[in-house]
Amino acid sequence: MSRRAFAIAFLTVSLGSIATHARGTSEGFGSSIVEYVPGAAPASGFTLASSALGEPTRVSGQPFSPGVVSPFAAAWTPADVVSIGAGGFITIQLDAPATDDANHPFGIDLIVFGNSFFVDVAPPFGVAGGLVSDGGIIDVSADGQSWHEVTKAAADGLWPTLAFSDAGPYDVVGGEVPSDFRLPMDPTLTVEEALGLPWEELVALYGGSGGGRGIDLADLGLAHASYIRVRVPVGHPWHVEVDAVSRTLDSGGPGPDLDGDGSVGGADLALLLGAFGHSADGDANGDGTTDGADLALVLGAWS
């Protein structure tokens, strides 16, 4: 069984008993707008640049028509997302530099959140059909002057935001288990692997993550980055929405090599599973608990 298949099976069985740890929301997100050029024909009324600051939206449409943000119900109000028309861009500065760290889950250091969503082929039960996304180009910079394009990665694409791991796809009230917006998705997952999945299995695929498009700074030759720019080419047929950007927080823990033998494998996984949910012995990321975030870290570094 592949590590991905194992993770899906394990999390599907355990979801009811896992209290996925979500870090506080005070750090790790965009803190200021450097520049915003709306471009041609952004979505009407969706030009409040500050909507892209802070963590992604968990409940959209408040106070008149609230709904939990899920892969089938994207953030949709002007207070939640900012729109970029053709030829436009937005530049967001992080609260602190993101660092390239191979010990981050799956090696991912930055995440960009749009408002893409899956078509529900069996409403209202949440069965993933095709992905509705608008694209957009991501650039990253250490100094705000020299930019590096993230190739083959749409800003408003995979993965749709998942706000809570224990809420339904169309709930109007948030759940008790917030997803972690600084925990990246496995970058090897494809949209095809989500298609046809019922709600519980789709949530398990997320593994406690809040979704978004992950970026490994090593792929760009950068040791750190403080700025993320999302831009839309001239003539692009759709406007692109941005909800938030985040950085993967440094783990502060021992990392995925739990047994210290220089590799990450079955022994580390056994240690983690033995401690899952009841002790910190498998706490790979140093947050004080052994949970889905640690499982993602170990599987992402599997050697």
Count of other CB atoms within 10 angstroms of residue 19: 13
For residue 159, tell me if it sits in a domain: yes
Question: What are the structure tokens assigned to 215, written together?
Answer: 């970026």
Q: Indicate if the alpha-carbon torsion angle 78, 81, 87, 92 is positive or negative.
A: positive
User: pLDDT tens, 79-112?
Assistant: 999 999 999 999 999 999 999 998 899 999 999 9
d(CA 20, CA 208) in angstroms, rounded, equals: 6
What percent of the chain is modeled with pLDDT above 70? Answer: 87
Give the range of the structural domain holding residue 98, as residue numbers without chain letter.
27-250
For residue 281, tell me if it sits in a domain: no
pLDDT of 18 > 70? The answer is no
d(CA 118, CA 157) in angstroms, rounded, equals: 10
pLDDT of 27 > 90? The answer is no
pLDDT of 260 > 90? The answer is no
For residue 291, tell me if it sits in a domain: no
d(CA 90, CA 34) in angstroms, rounded, equals: 8
Distance from chain centroid for Cα 92: 17
pLDDT at 7: 47
Cis peptide before 160 (omega within 30 of 0): no
d(CA 284, CA 173) in angstroms, rounded, equals: 32
d(CA 295, CA 303) in angstroms, rounded, equals: 14
Number of domains in the chain: 1
d(CA 97, CA 224) in angstroms, rounded, equals: 6
The answer to whether the pTM exceeds 0.85 is: no
pLDDT at 302: 72
> 161, 210 in Cβ contact below 8 A?
yes
For residue 296, tell me if it sits in a domain: no
What lies within 8 Å, CB to CB, of 216 at 6+ separation is 100, 106, 107, 108, 109, 187
Query: Strand, helix or coil at 30?
Result: strand
In Å, how far are 49, 53, 188, 216 from 300, measured between CA atoms? 34, 28, 10, 13
Count of other CB atoms within 10 angstroms of residue 189: 17
pLDDT at 97: 95
User: pLDDT tens, 188-224?
Assistant: 999 999 999 999 999 999 999 999 999 999 999 999 9
pLDDT at 251: 57
pLDDT at 278: 79
Residue range 149-158: mean pLDDT, rounded: 88
pLDDT of 136 > 50? The answer is yes
d(CA 33, CA 29) in angstroms, rounded, equals: 12
pLDDT at 11: 45
d(CA 254, CA 231) in angstroms, rounded, equals: 37
Indicate the residue type of 5. Answer: A
pLDDT at 209: 94
In Å, how far are 3, 112, 156, 223 from 301, measured between CA atoms? 10, 22, 27, 19
Residue range 14-42: mean pLDDT, rounded: 70
